[in-house]
Chains A and B, each alone.
Chain A
């Protein structure tokens, strides 16, 4: 009896032993897991900034209308910053983003006003041209093996200059092009790129006294500006691509060590070119959004946005050396930007403190990122 039961007991205990061995896998503490996320710094920064304004700013800053005010500039910057973050993770820079906004704004305006193209065609053509220019940037960087910093710095000036010359040429001497909004016409396509979204929801919320409304019953905030919808959508999509798809893994690999990536069969050059194209296309989307919103475009559009986008990406946890960072971090970084630039007007501080803040935030973020990288990724 004893002999027959013993083996069965052994057999049944075997899987348990294996399970216990698996559990020898060191339990990763919650703190470590959090610390490993690149967007931690940006989230912490956002919370700090929010606390700062909650205690110093006029309470109207954190009403629904105030939040929309903060998010609008954050959205425009954020779309650029998320693309810049992906490119930085892929190991490259694009300093021509800001100029690309001006240039694509100009050609978009020209398609609408000079060529009288329908909106859809104008948008499609603008995106294609932006992608081609981005691809050119990428190919130059890859083929010459020059740092992308210097190649795209050249394009910063080329595109800015072309925008100025082109504007003057197209308008007969002015540096502003008007009347784009009127010529663009109405319709579904227009609504995707200008105005507000979710009006029905907001009307319903106002009707049920959930949000503020005017005496006549229209809500004080009629909806979410579409740029914010683009911003949030792009952040979610970019995060999903980065963390869950093959292309995401290739982006990390291309930026982390292009040689090792190539040796493992990652198409590094294609990934980088695609990222340059994406960055340029993101600039074009921002150009289309702002041009349709304002109804006009001018040569200073997107001025210094390349730096702000890179700063937002760095605050969001991107390393300047590539291979590490996050899209959702850039999302938070852009919101920090919007909150401070708009928030200062709600306080008694001079809003020119913004620049000081910007520099300080960048420095802090870089120091913090450096520390985290060494701590968590094991550069002992």
Chain B
């Protein structure tokens, strides 16, 4: 598996917005069947990096390779076509629309000839029901509005959608940050499932515990730079935490609060 080219590899990626340097040399790779956790505090450049990978921003300089070939995305559509699907924290689903309509949004299968061409909603409902069943929210109706699902279920449906439409790499933008404990474990369990299907996952979070629970490797981002990448066997959860927060200060606070941060 290691001999294959990584699904995504970036080297020394730089992104400027005018005089603001958002990313100043980021390197990262993700392989098949691997969860790469991208850790960083607020303002570390996580969002910019995701948006660059997702085709929203163009990098100022640096290499961006997909399966060993250099790419340059003009739009999110290009990234999708290359098999890179991004699931945004709160921008993934439209609450007023049904689960089915959300699931197939933008990629509705059609049947019939032109003036009578219509969406094959029977097929859509069937697929949606099946996928919901797979996630474990099977006692629900695919016609109900997404707004009636819990936050964790929404994230899972969004991930299931990306997987169903043939994503090779999933970029998950803080999928657990707004969720409660039970829902977080539901999402983490699902991420684990997705990995075992052979997809590469880039899991962005600032919660080290969540990262450590499913991650294979960890890349820490600080002030627009990668501080390093570590395999799970190389690093302990505490070290990771300190690295991410930039060291001393947090330890001091942590000690004050009884070591629970």
Which residues does A use to contact B, with CB under 8 Å? 21-22, 24-26, 28, 36, 240, 244-246, 248-250, 252-253, 256-257, 259-266, 319, 323-324, 373, 376-379
Contact = CB atoms under 8 A, between A and B. Distances in A.
Contacts of B139: 24-26
Interface of B: 76-77, 80, 86, 88, 91-97, 101, 104-108, 110, 117-119, 121, 129, 138-141, 143-145, 147-149
A378 B147 contact: yes
Contacts of B147: 377-379
Nearest to B95: A377
B85 to A, nearest CB: 10
B145 A376 contact: yes
Contacts of B144: 28, 36, 378
Nearest to A26: B139
A14 to B, nearest CB: 16
Contact of A245 (B92, B93, B117, B129): B117
A263 B119 contact: no
Given A250-B106, A261-B105, A377-B147, 11 more contacts: A24-B139, A28-B143, A36-B144, A249-B119, A252-B96, A253-B101, A257-B91, A257-B94, A259-B91, A319-B96, A378-B145
Contacts of A261: 94, 105-106
B148 A260 contact: no
A264 B88 CA distance: 11
Nearest to A252: B97
A264 B105 contact: yes
A256 B107 contact: no
B138 A256 contact: no
Contact of B110 (A246, A373, A379): A246
Contacts of B76: 262-263, 265
A249 B109 CA distance: 12
Contact of A378 (B80, B101, B148): B148
A28 B99 CA distance: 15
B94 A253 contact: yes
Contact of B96 (A21, A244, A249, A373): A373
Nearest to A253: B105
B138 A24 contact: yes
Contacts of B141: 25-26, 28
Given A252-B96, A256-B94, A256-B95, A265 B107 contact: yes
Shortest Cβ-Cβ A-B pairs, 3 listed:
A378-B148, A265-B106, A256-B94
A26 B94 contact: no
- Report which residue of A24, A262, A265 has the largest number of chain B beta carbons within 10 angstroms of its beta carbon: A265
A204 B86 CA distance: 63
Nearest to B76: A263
Contacts of B105: 249, 253, 260-261, 264, 266
A257 B105 CA distance: 12
A323 B146 CA distance: 13
Nearest to A256: B94
Nearest to B100: A249
A181 B184 CA distance: 70
A322 to B, nearest CB: 9
A265 B96 CA distance: 18
Contacts of B95: 256-257, 377-379
Contacts of A244: 118-119, 121
A17 to B, nearest CB: 14
Contacts of A264: 105-107
Contact of B138 (A25, A28, A263): A25
B96 A323 contact: yes
Contacts of A25: 129, 138-141
A259 B92 CA distance: 9
A25 B145 CA distance: 15
A323 B92 contact: no
B94 A263 contact: no
A266 B145 contact: no
Contacts of B118: 240, 244-245
15 contacts: A21-B138, A26-B141, A36-B143, A240-B118, A245-B117, A245-B119, A252-B97, A253-B94, A253-B101, A377-B95, A377-B96, A377-B148, A378-B95, A378-B144, A378-B147
A248 B100 CA distance: 14
B39 to A, nearest CB: 24
B16 to A, nearest CB: 24
Contacts of A245: 117-119
B162 to A, nearest CB: 10
B97 A256 contact: yes
A269 to B, nearest CB: 12
B233 to A, nearest CB: 36
B34 to A, nearest CB: 24
A262 B75 CA distance: 10
A253 B138 contact: no
B107 A263 contact: no
A215 to B, nearest CB: 46
Contacts of B148: 377-378
B46 to A, nearest CB: 17
Contact of B80 (A250, A260, A265): A265
B97 A263 contact: no
A26 B139 CA distance: 6
Contacts of A36: 143-145
B77 A265 contact: yes
Nearest to B56: A263
Contacts of B92: 260, 263
A249 B101 contact: yes
A77 B4 CA distance: 64
A28 B101 CA distance: 18
Contact of A260 (B93, B108, B143, B145): B93
